[in-house]
Amino acid sequence: MEENRNDSPTLQQVQQMVDRWITTTGVRYFSPLTNMAVLAEETGEVARVMARLYGDQSFKPGDTADLADELADLLWVTVAIANQTGVDLTDALRRNMEKKNRRDATRHRDNPKLNVKQP
């Protein structure tokens, strides 16, 4: 599938794009355990950027702050893990939202910690 920059791909299309890239350009999927380690690594890179952009840490000389790219890396490896383990992310997200809507229908609204004005 060729993407038009103005169109948002569906999760199914994203899964297909990642699979196509991995099985051609990338040769094959890494093992699930390797991809889990890569997921942890990418999560750390997102945390590093967030700590410097929104937290108290400062950038070191030469550091980059491309949060969008780091989040895309995190999404990429999440999709790769879903693909190689047979998870349909569209269905998984739909079921997850249903779970959250049942479980958390009033939980956050009723949480006094969340109803305090932020400075």
Does the residue 69 lie in any domain? Answer: yes
Q: Is residue 100 part of a domain?
A: no
- What percent of the chain stands above pLDDT 90? 76
Supply the pTM of this predicted model: 0.84
Helices vs strands, H then E, count in the chain: 4, 0
Residues 6+ apart with CB under 8 A from 75: 14
Closest to 15 in 3D by CA, of 98, 95, 91: 91
Is position 101 within any domain?
no
Is 23 a member of any domain? yes
Degrees (nearest 5) of the Cα angle 74, 107, 93? Answer: 35
Who has greater pLDDT, 109 or 30?
Answer: 30
**Counted domains in the chain:** 1
CATH of residue 66: 1.10.287.1080
Domain that holds residue 44: 11-88
pLDDT confidence bin for 3, thresholds 50/70/90: low
Q: Determine, yes or no, domain membership for 114.
A: no
Backbone angles phi, psi at 85, to 5 degrees: -110, 5
* 96 inside domain: no
Residue 2's pLDDT is: 53
pLDDT tens sequence across 20-62 = 999 999 999 999 999 999 999 999 999 999 999 999 999 999 8
Burial class (CB in 10 A: 0-12, 13-18, 19+), 31: exposed
pLDDT at 104: 87
Token pair 């980059």 is found at 64
Please report which helix (H) or strand (E) contains residue 90, including its range.
helix 89-103
Residue 102 placed within a domain: no
Q: Is the pLDDT of residue 117 over 80?
A: no
Residue 104 lies inside a defined structural domain of this protein? no
